[in-house]
Chains A and B, each alone.
Chain A
Amino acid sequence: MMNLDYSVLLRALPYLGEGLLFSLQITLVAMAGGIVFGTLLALARLSRYKKLATVAAGYVNLMRSIPLILAIFWIFFLIPEIVAWLIGADHPVQIGTTRTAFIAFTLFEAAYFCEVIRAGILAVPRGQEGAGQALGFTYAQNMRYVVLPQAFRAMIPVLLTQTIILFQDTSLLYVISATDFLGAASKVAQRDGRLVEFYTFAALVYFAICFTLSKVVKRYQARLNKNVAHA
């Protein structure tokens, strides 16, 4: 047994706080971006235009086949190349870890959100789409006013659960030495030679956040089920 020193934790709290804030930022941005992009992907996958559906399916299946770490390596390599190509520079152009992380997680999580949203749309009874069409709605109006609102209401718990997973996944930014919450903990842990204290603390914080959120989701789900049962 080694002797543990918890005062090192206290001194590092502001730094860890910044890391946690960064993790939460990525989570929120990637959730918002992922839901928007994921909805578009889902609509594309369900589209009657075969080519569009195939391209969307290809993207989603590709992202879902590879590990997030590999995707992070890819995107951190590709973004500077693409930016250089866009502005005609002859060297890769760095746009900073934060922005790249936003893009990486949005692109990756969109594939997962897409599948949730697609299942949600498919779960809306076919008759609803027909009813909308019978009222003279266009495809876009039908999606906007009839199908998507129903789909999203039922999907919210699953989307939130996926977001909790996304929050946990931000810890993988460790592999590119970003200063997310785990990255911050790891950096001070190694500086101070206090791995036990910092990694245990990180685990407790992740647990507290994810456990609380998952309880909220569960309660929301229970309320939703009750409303459906009464409907």
Chain B
Amino acid sequence: MSLDLNIFFEASPDPGVTYAGMLLSGLAWTVALALLAWVLALIVGTAVGVARTLPFKWLVMLGNAYVEVFRNIPLLVQLFLWYFVLPEILPAAIGNWIKSFDAPWGPFFTALVGLGLFTSARIAEQVRAGINSLAKGQRNAGLAVGMTLGQTYRYVLLPMAARRIIPPLTSEFMTIFKNSSVALTIGVIELTAQAQQMNEFTFRTYEALGAATVIYIIVALTVNQLMALIERKSYIPGLIKQER
């Protein structure tokens, strides 16, 4: 096997776009999808995770049900549910409105919601575990100085839990980039899809898949560095000693 790197600078079937340009556009979709879905996942996941630690039984049950549903169905099947099933079972007016979004926006928004909610269930699990890992005494201490339950979460429990869940969140953040490739099944032309298209146009499999692989590795390393930076920034002096 011999690699031919010039292939990346040849014109693709897209007018005026080289194969390198094709891959970069794929990367852009991957990054946009992963980051926006991450924001959605963080917001929903934190809300659901917190709900599962509150002293309200029905809210805990609702949160548990949410997590079980989104964790026990494969991501690909969830995307199909959002993309093919949901618009059909909603009232026709809403269904048609959803279907009226043309590619690339229709598939992109669907993937954004699907990937975001799928990941939110996993984040909810981390948030719940993070809050529960704090000794019950911290909650009591917050309440004992007269804070409301809301204030206790806002000033005591969440800031501590957030620091504890940075390592598992790093791994989820990496996962969302990888999982975003599943969106190619509903027509989002992200990085993996572009690599596969380039492969089909050129039969230069090593170059096409190899380039995508290298890009994914660079993304993974970048994410890792970024999260390590956040971990350093949120370091609390003397905390390790404090752990019981």
Contacts and interface: CB of A to CB of B under 8 A. Distances in A.
Q: Is there a direct interface between A and B, measured as CB atoms under 8 Å apart in the complex? A: yes
Interface in B89-107: 89-92
Nearest to A4: B89
Nearest to B30: A67
B85 A69 contact: no
A31 to B, nearest CB: 16
B196 interface: yes
A207 B72 contact: yes
Contact of A77 (B76, B85, B180, B209): B209
10 contacts: A65-B220, A68-B178, A70-B216, A73-B209, A164-B72, A171-B77, A182-B74, A195-B85, A206-B77, A207-B69
Most chain A CB atoms below 10 A, which of B78, B192, B195, B220: B192
A200 interface: yes
Contact of B81 (A175, A200, A214): A200
Contacts of A207: 69, 72-73
B77 A199 contact: yes
B196 A73 contact: yes
Nearest to B90: A1
Interface stretch (B3-11, B41-49, B181-189): B181-189
A175 B185 contact: yes
A160 to B, nearest CB: 14
Given A73-B196, A203-B73, A211-B68, A66 B216 contact: yes
Given A70-B195, A174-B185, A195-B84, A202 B209 contact: no
B217 interface: yes
A182 B84 contact: no
B88 A210 contact: no
A62 B221 CA distance: 11
Interface in A198-223: 199-200, 202-203, 206-207, 210-211, 214
Interface of A: 1-2, 62, 64-70, 73-74, 77, 164, 168-169, 171-172, 174-175, 182, 186, 195-196, 199-200, 202-203, 206-207, 210-211, 214
B73 A67 contact: no
A70 B85 CA distance: 26
Contacts of B148: none
Given A1-B92, A182-B74, A74 B209 contact: yes
Contacts of B76: 171-172, 174, 182
A66 B74 contact: no
Contacts of A202: 77, 80
Nearest to B212: A70
Interface in B187-233: 192, 195-196, 199, 205, 209, 212-213, 216-217, 219-220
B74 A69 contact: no
B192 A73 contact: yes
Nearest to A169: B74
